[in-house]
Chain A
Amino acid sequence: MSSPLHELSIDSIRAGLLAKKFSAEELARQSLAYAEAENPKTNAYLTLSPERALTAARAVDAKIASGEDPGPLAGVPIAVKDVIVTRGLRTTCGSKLLANYVPPYDATAVIRLEQAGGVILGKTNCDEFAMGSSNENSAFGPVRNPVALDRVPGGSSGGSAAVVAQETALVSLGSDTGGSIRQPASFCGISGVTPTYGRVSRYGLTAFASSLDHIGPFGKTTRDAARLLQAIAGRDEMDATSAFAPVPDYVAALDGNLRGLRIGLPREYFGGLESETGDRVTSAVEVLKKLGCEVRDIGLPHTPYAVAAYYIIATAEASANLARYDGVRYTTRSASAKTLSDMYRMTREEGFGDECKRRIMLGTYVLSAGYYDAYYLKAQKVRNLITRDFAQAFQQVDAIVAPVSPFPAFKIGEKVKDPISMYLSDIYTITGDLAGIPCMSVPCGLTAEGLPVGLQIITRHFDESTMFRIADAYEKASH
């Protein structure tokens, strides 16, 4: 059985609906049935939401019947990472603590998707509180990579990448704090976008590291990802950090014209790669040259310090953000605690998985008395140096192109015992989050074993248009 979404895109679904070739309800029913049948292979969905999906689909059909515009995402089957809250629909954050949490409100991004006609099929598995690079840290079991079922889909948005690759949703939302959208997109062979910091409201995104958290889209193509971002981007008064900058027409930028565009290859990103990954990225650069790009070497000299700075800043912020899971308001509560203090301590001990505990501990340590200057303040200064590296590079080039991950999808279980090597694998994605610039992963071929490799495209703050233009032109030229 092939997916009902196999030949479809956001644009073709809209066209099909308007031409009455199929209804949104039919597409939603078929997609839900396919997702239910296929999900056991990957464990990518944690919850399907047929009622919500069919209500949204019927509303689209009613609009079409009455001659109203059904919206830019009309009838599009969408999956949402389970760290983004959905009113009345269980939102677990991949954590045992929130196994029964049913949010009383919707995230702004979710509201905007549904206002645009999108149909939410369900919620996707992820590393607990978005902490991980392999989706092995979920309390509800790992996600399997649809391309190779014995391998990880990447993380932390592993489920959101897997559903798009498996075609159990057309597009999806993920979140990215250190690479959690781009790395799984590269591992699963799809497009994944981390927009500029503040481009998409985080209202309703469960906070991990607030100065680094982003919501962003996944799609089979750059065009679908751009359409999805279009629908959710823009100022939201419910998130004081959301940006005021106007949102341009991203799809209008997909004109295929890369002539004269200056592209930088950061030499620090090509040192520690597996050779096949390096080869695929190098071939992609050749395609960009043929399309008229002017390619030059650049330096981003503080790259080797990014992982260290990130694991101070992200864990410090996480240790504060995760303090709220205390057995009082949202979470399950330890049954054995007799006093208030024990209730906090035992609820958290029993509820958090190993990786969350490790990060809470590291974050608490670096913020504790006497260590603040040596760790947190130092890391913030290094973050500034990394951000300046990019600012200087963007005086010479319009975009930066690099690998996403040093290697393709690894085997489930291969790296779980070694947290540092897992952290270091995020080296090429963490820098973009620290600087807050837009970055995306676009598929750039397969290894000999058939594992996808991702090409990372990075542009200036709020210049998603150039990033999408490059990705889209590359996609078309390489197919």
Chain B
Amino acid sequence: MKITEQEVRRVADLANLALREDEVARMAQDLGGILSHIDKLNELDTTDVEPMAQVLFDAEETATLREDRERPSLTNAEAVGNAPVTSGGYYKVPRVIER
């Protein structure tokens, strides 16, 4: 299966990756190779097969509901402690809207 460099750029945009030119070319080749292997799935007729999103086990419908009670959460300092840039207890990012 062939993936064009244009398609790679479109997908990189969706994924918020600023790929370099040399990466675009290699990615086109790598993805093409992997997708060719993946084409193997078309050998199987899956018309009447239910899709399986998750491994599910029997449990009561309300099993995952819990009591609504107060419990400690992260402090503001902990929550922003790993951010590269903060200001006044907030995450700070570059300007979004130009005036």
Contact = CB atoms under 8 A, between A and B. Distances in A.
Interface residues of B, number: 55
Given A344-B16, A348-B17, A361-B27, A307 B37 contact: yes
Which size class do A's interface residues fall under? 35 or more
Interface of B: 3, 7-8, 10-12, 14-20, 23, 27, 30-31, 33-35, 37-44, 46, 49-55, 57, 59, 63-64, 66, 74, 78-85, 91, 93-96
A382 B52 CA distance: 8
A346 B18 contact: yes
A423 B17 contact: no
Given A357-B17, A384-B51, A362 B31 contact: yes
B17 A385 contact: no
Given A339-B94, A378-B41, A380-B52, A361 B57 contact: no
A349 B8 contact: no
A380 B53 contact: yes
B52 A384 contact: yes
Interface stretch (A121-129, A137-145, A238-246): A238-246
Nearest to B16: A344
A220 interface: no
Given A328-B83, A365-B11, A211 B55 contact: yes
A312 B42 CA distance: 13
Contacts of A346: 18
Contacts of A383: 51-52
Contacts of B55: 197-198, 211, 387, 435-436, 461
B15 A364 contact: yes
Given A384-B49, A385-B49, A105 B74 contact: yes
Given A104-B81, A330-B82, A385-B46, A337 B94 contact: yes
B11 to A, nearest CB: 5
Interface of A: 100-105, 197-198, 211, 237, 240-241, 243-245, 302, 304-305, 307-309, 311-312, 319, 323, 326-333, 337-346, 348-349, 352, 357-358, 360-362, 364-365, 368, 375, 377-385, 387, 419-420, 423-424, 435-436, 461
Nearest to A436: B55
Contact of A381 (B40, B49, B79): B49
Which one of B31, B44, B79 has the greatest number of beta carbons of chain A within 10 Å? Answer: B44
A444 to B, nearest CB: 28
A348 B39 CA distance: 29
A349 B19 contact: yes
Contacts of A327: 84, 93
Nearest 7 A-B pairs (CB), nearest first? A436-B55, A380-B51, A345-B18, A384-B52, A104-B78, A381-B46, A333-B84
Given A329-B82, A384-B50, A461-B57, A104 B74 contact: yes
